[in-house]
Structure 1
Amino acid sequence: MTARTVVLLRHARTAYNATLRLQGQIDIPLDDVGRWQAAEGAAALASSHRAARIVSSDLERAADTAAAYAQALGGDVAVQTDVRLRERSFGAWEGMTGEEIAERWPEEYAAWRRGHDPVEAGAETKVAVAARMAEAVREHADALEGDETLVVVSHGAAITLAVTTLLGIDVDGWRGIAGVHNVHWSHLHRYGADAVPEWRLVAHNVGAGYPLDRWQAGPDWNLEPETKSA
């Protein structure tokens, strides 16, 4: 048997997310807003999907997000880590903003924005990321029964590539699936090896229901600004 429901959850916010720096496989912790997002998003996900297995990237930002979800389930499901669920490696570009990359690698940055792999920077190819992600998802799903749910906690680019390849779409030449926000998820349903495609996308970029500006602002979004006394 194999799990028919798979949820791919992106990690909560980090300081690099907030400053638009390319993280790749640098191990960045959650910031204060990220910890709030992890708790809020975990509660929302637990209300609709109760995992029989939780598997996470071994990078801290993903593992801590997975731990928040496990806690929201009552702590009955342990979090497993799998290095195959890491974010795409971006080589020399990791830790840099788009402006910094464009200044130092103008031609390759422009090619990357058009959808090509930045090979000169030492980045991992989209095909390689999709392959390792799909392998991990299938392996962990195969360990469950058909009525059980697998929750996979990973990263933005890695999740987009995983969803694309599981839907049977060429990841090297098609960019039709937008990325998910922090602590938002994609829900896939597996129809079986004889179905074409084997997996179908049920929902994408689902979260706790906050407007995006409030979600990015964190728990203090509704506080009145301080006013100076006369």
Structure 2
Amino acid sequence: MIDEVMMLRHGRTQYNLEHRLQGQIDVPLDIVGQWQADQTGYALASHYYWAKVSRLAADPEAIAQPGAGAAERSDIRQWQEAPAAARRMVVYSSDLFRAQQTAHAFADLMGLDVTLDPRLRERSFGRWEGLTRAEIKAQDAEAYASWKRHTGGETRYGVESRAQVGERGARAVRDIIAAMDAASGDTPTTLMIVGHGSWITATIGTLLGLDPDGMNALGGMRNACWCRLKVRHTVNGRTIAEPLFELEEYNKAPAIADNADWENGPADLRGPHTPDWQPIVW
């Protein structure tokens, strides 16, 4: 039974650096984005090391064994009897490549499979995809101002509304939980979802019952940062029809982000043709 959901945003891309709306355009991580994904992967792998133990306990053939001349074999009971083996983790990712790269930066350390799901794709920005905010404003200042005010002017350009992306995301999360719960029964399970900033913010808002167009709801997500939700299947000891969600962490970064330039990465990764990242100016 899934009792925890992690949502992780992908690392930086060249479009992020240039402040272009990616939407569902398939763009890979840039060098700093791969560094961000790796640093977050290391941090989460340390925190969730139990997931590697659980995976090996379920597949003892994957436990490393010495050669025939060794004094003894690895005792697989140590993995199978460890308390960590009582939980499990599953990893889902948007099928867009930047999300896949970020998912594997964590999952490969743990030996976990990554399941791709197009329902986890970023918000579609329609005919605005690939454009900067300055280009959008020059094209249609009124629609741009409406988008900025959260009054929906962007939808005339085929942009998926915040409500639509939130409903799409929340439905996907609930469907995955229902399918996983049916398959795993009472085994406590953490669901890791790797996706995109606008999708994560809208989905969490919808799961919490917030107004998707509320200006004071949830702030934007930084690259390669995560959110954590507790999932409740009962209230006062009674099973409920659909799980409830409690937000426990939002926009959380690994500890290294406090001591490094997270948006630009370390200096030895930035070549002469790599500009510095700048905050978004509306």
Shared fold, TM over 0.5:
yes
Is 1:68–2:113 an aligned residue pair? no
In structure 2, C-alpha distance between the alignment counterparts of 1:146 and 1:208, rounded to whole Å: 28
Structure 2 vs 1, CA of residues 36 and 198 (structure 1 numbering), >3 Å: closer, same or farther?
same
- Deviation of 1:146 after TM superposition, in Å, equals 5.4
- Deviation of 1:173 after TM superposition, in Å, equals 4.0
Structure 2 vs 1, CA of residues 222 and 36 (structure 1 numbering), >3 Å: closer, same or farther?
closer
> Could you tell me whether the CA contact under 8 Å between 2:9 and 2:200 is conserved in 1?
yes
In structure 1, C-alpha distance between the alignment counterparts of 2:189 and 2:243, rounded to whole Å: 21
Stretches of structure 1 that go unaligned for 5 or more consecutive residues are 224-230
SS, match of residue 33 in structure 2 = helix
Aligned pair count? Answer: 220
* Structure exhibiting the larger radius of gyration computed from Cα positions: 2
Q: Deviation per CA, 1:117-140: give whole Å up to 9, x if none.
A: 211111011121111111111222
Deviating 4+ runs (over 4 angstroms): 193-197
- Deviation of 1:3 after TM superposition, in Å, equals 0.5
2:129 to 77, 82, 94: 94
Equivalent in the alignment of 1:199: 245
- Which AA in structure 1 matches 2:202? L
Is 1:54–2:91 an aligned residue pair? yes
- Deviation of 1:40 after TM superposition, in Å, equals 0.7
Compute the TM-score of the two structures, normalised by the length of structure 2: 0.73
Q: Deviation per CA, 1:45-77: give whole Å up to 9, x if none.
A: 22224461100000000011111111122x2x1
Equivalent in the alignment of 1:217: 264
SS, match of residue 20 in structure 1 = coil
Equivalent in the alignment of 2:190: 149
Compute the TM-score of the two structures, normalised by the length of structure 1: 0.88
SS, match of residue 52 in structure 1 = strand
1:185 to 226, 230, 236: 226
Structure 2 vs 1, CA of residues 197 and 138 (structure 1 numbering), >3 Å: closer, same or farther?
closer
In structure 1, C-alpha distance between the alignment counterparts of 2:15 and 2:115, rounded to whole Å: 25
Greater shift, 131-140 or 53-62, is seen at 131-140
Stretches of structure 2 that go unaligned for 5 or more consecutive residues are 52-87, 271-282
- Which AA in structure 2 matches 1:112? W
2:141 to 88, 99, 106: 106
> Could you tell me whether the CA contact under 8 Å between 2:31 and 2:269 is conserved in 1?
no
- Which AA in structure 2 matches 1:147? P
Structure 2 vs 1, CA of residues 176 and 150 (structure 1 numbering), >3 Å: closer, same or farther?
same
- Deviation of 1:172 after TM superposition, in Å, equals 3.7
> Could you tell me whether the CA contact under 8 Å between 1:6 and 1:141 is conserved in 2?
no
In structure 1, C-alpha distance between the alignment counterparts of 2:7 and 2:202, rounded to whole Å: 11
